[in-house]
Structure 1
């Protein structure tokens, strides 16, 4: 069997027709977008597309990165996406012709090149988008391109951020603290590049914009987002450390902002210090009320930039993080992100822990909410996803508070 026949046999199946049709559509479109939305109507489509793309597929649809799809088919078949489409459809891919003039291509590409970004996977699609939809006057384009490239070079576009910077401070580097305010030309262009880089939809509201900024390492400001902490065993004897320790002595937790963390001493804790991270402030409140002096941080369902910054500081000091969250899909996604980004160790987050908590809830006749949403992977215990989906019940942290507090006290 020839290579083409092998590819046709593997790819020309009903479950993959939607993938190949959408891929051809974007490859032949004038602007050649970097991603496309793909509907996944049934289990057969989800399984087939996941096999080709290289990751599990959940729900009724997903967003496909053209470059990642090209990499996946090259790794599997030894030819690129265009060659696969030509074999499946029996005709070559026609190159799209942009209707937009290339009059402004040089300033954008030059500015990106100066910052080492010209070869980024998102760069070409972003340049085309700016020309077609960016609404930037030709005379203004060189200055806008320079400012955008300067900002983009400071963002985390290919991985989690190592640090967070307030948006006004970042904008000031490009000449004006208000350049990245909501609705400005520069913020719109930078967020489009960030969306392309992270393979997500361009944000359509302020909440989505704030989430994308934070994903790139940019906080709305340095004071409003905080990390709720309890009993941090700080090693310093400076005024900052004494202030935090003083609140613990009074039986009070502390909210640390990015500004607080910037004023903190270089080292916070000793190597090997165990620090627990929970999802819900109710767990931290209970620990405070019972006088449990184990270090604890409440991350919430969507950890703020201050939480991430504090966790990075603690892990850099050699602290050992243990994370727990609700047994629902957002909770296990939070646990996964904390293990991936900060090396946290799952704490009472196994499939057996879930079963035990279900049994305790049943014995106490506790009503549990239904488990809704898209299943999330649990790589530390792959069985957990299956067990949760099978039982279809969510378990808030509060339902097994006594077991968590016992761990924090060191009982047993």
Structure 2
């Protein structure tokens, strides 16, 4: 842990007072030790640590002291708080006031991340002083439309969001506006600032923004659409031809306000093999396939269907990600897990043993299953995952009925 404490002291004694620092994790032992302290798994050879989070974890460890006191005990000398910041405080007051004013216009002035974002903008934002007012006002307008303290229930495309601030390309990767907005979003969600395109995409989507309207898709079969418009007829024609539909955000924008009648039952599956098998067997029960973790398009479709009053039920893999998706869909959209009880899991284990099917080991941290707490307990005890494709014959039999 020596490297962690040395880096933490360096940060606390720095005139810039950065809110985060990067820590190298040279070996598995270091990864485990740091992960146990921070309460999250450490993957790879480095991580970014938030100073306030480290202080909270230390205080919650039963020691009765904070980070600065721990460092004094470990190193035998107090943390030297620099006074150099005081000479620049008056210089920082004006831009911070501009940030506060811009956020206040959108009821974000009291957001818990506002002060830290303002400090970051002043110290590291690299925004020219003569552009600061315009940038923070545009950023505040964007932030007001993001899901910063909740899970998103709808998604907008990044280009549409940017266009509403005056420039359709203003939020493209690499722009100043994109950089400062994502920093605020990272602070709001208490995650490290994104360092690559994959992390930027994930953070945008976490805030309810799709990078574009066409790359995210959701696979569907036999949707019982009620509209008589061209869009609905085109999807129904694909079903009549025995073909599935890959719907994008643009498709959903073009769709009619109502998709299905209230009370319509649709099954949501995880594995595309389930949908393919239903299609080939000419099973007309409507299916929405998430192909693993839900895309923004998939979540948007499910929200639209739920708003129509459809009855949505989910079946996925009996592994930790699978039951995690089930729980998230249940909480966010009211989708009920289907054939995913402890009894269903036990039956799947027995059938696999009877048919001599080798089941993979469960990997990852356990996930609670509040719709049936016994399921998580049984999965943890057995240590085996049951993939949805293994259950295909039984699922098809029920769907056919």
Give the TM interval when normalised to the shorter protein. Answer: 0.7 to 0.9
Q: C-alpha deviations, 1:141-189, integer Å up to 9, x for none?
A: 1111111111111111111223211111111122211111111111111
CA displacement at 1:262 relative to structure 2: 1.1
> Aligned-residue CA RMSD in angstroms?
3.8
Mapped to 1, the partners of 2:397 and 2:51 lie a distance apart of: 46
CA contact (8 A) 2:157 2:210 kept: yes
The counterpart of 1:190, out of the listed 157, 181, 187, is 181
Contact 2:259 2:308 in 1 (8 A): yes
- Match among 355, 372, 375 for residue 384 of structure 1: 375
Native 8 Å contact 1:36 1:65 kept in 2:
no
Structure 1 match to 2:294: 303
Q: Give the gaps of 5 or more residues in structure 2.
A: 1-5, 24-29
Gaps of 5+ in 1: 1-20, 51-56, 75-81
Pairing of 1:207-222 with structure 2 (within 5 A): 207-222=198-213
Distance 1:36 1:340 in 2: 34
> Relative to structure 1, is the Cα distance of residues 67 and 205 closer, same or farther in structure 2, using a 3 angstrom cutoff?
closer
Other-structure match for 1:281: 272
Q: Distance in 2 between matches of 1:343 and 1:34?
A: 37
In structure 2, C-alpha distance between the alignment counterparts of 1:94 and 1:279, rounded to whole Å? 54
* 8 A Cα contact 2:283 2:399, kept in partner: yes
Structure 2 match to 1:200: 191
Query: Across the two proteins, how many residue pairs are aligned to each other?
Result: 382
Aligned partners of 2:19 and 2:51 also within 8 Å: no
Deviation at 1:201, TM superposition (A): 1.7
Question: How far apart in 2 are the matches of 1:355 and 1:330?
Answer: 18
Q: Distance in 2 between matches of 1:238 and 1:108?
A: 47
1:58–1:175 distance in 2 versus 1, CA, 3 Å: closer
Give the corresponding residue for 1:374.
365
Structure 1 distance, partners of 2:126, 2:223, is 50
Q: 1:314 to 1:96 in 2, by over 3 A?
A: farther
Return the offset for 1:32.
7.1
Question: What's the secondary structure of 1:181's corresponding residue?
Answer: coil
Give deviations 1:25-84, integer Å, cap 9, x for gaps. 9999864739999x9958xx96xx89xxxxxx66469988959998xx99xxxxxxx998
Q: Deviations over 1:353-380 (max 9, x none)?
A: 2222122122222222222222222222
Change (3 A) 1:58 1:140: closer
Aligned to 2:19: 33
The equivalent residue for 2:144 is: 153
Corresponding residue to 2:352 among 351, 361, 374 = 361
Aligned counterparts, 1:15-26, within 5 A: none
- Paired residues for 1:247-262 under 5 Å: 247-262=238-253
Q: Would the aligned equivalents of 1:58 and 1:375 in 2 still touch at CA under 8 Å?
A: no
Cα displacement (A) at 1:212: 1.1
Distance verdict in 2 for CA 1:335–1:146, change over 3 Å: same
Secondary structure of residue in 1 paired with 2:376: helix
1:177 aligns with 2:163: no
User: How many angstroms does 1:106 deviate by?
Assistant: 2.0
Q: Deviations over 1:267-326 (max 9, x none)?
A: 111111111111111111111111111111111222121111111110001111111111
Q: Deviations over 1:125-151 (max 9, x none)?
A: 111112122111111111111111111
SS at match of 2:268: strand
The aligned counterpart of 2:26 is none
Determine if the alignment matches structure 1 residue 294 to structure 2 residue 285: yes
Q: Retained in 2: the 8 A contact 1:31–1:96? A: no
Give 2:231's match in structure 1, choosing from 226, 240, 243: 240
With the length of structure 1 as denominator, give the TM-score of the two structures: 0.80
- Whole-angstrom CA distance in 2 between matches of 1:313 and 1:387: 34
Contact 2:275 2:287 in 1 (8 A): yes
Shift of 1:121: 1.4
Residues 106-125 of structure 1 show CA distances to partners (whole Å, capped at 9, x for unaligned) of 22111111111111111111
User: Are the equivalent residues in 1 in contact too, given 2:99–2:118 (CA < 8 A)?
Assistant: yes
Alpha-carbon distance in structure 2 between the residues aligned to 1:96 and 1:274:
64
Cα distance change, pair 370–67 in 1 and its aligned pair in 2 (3 A): closer
Aligned match of 2:307: 316
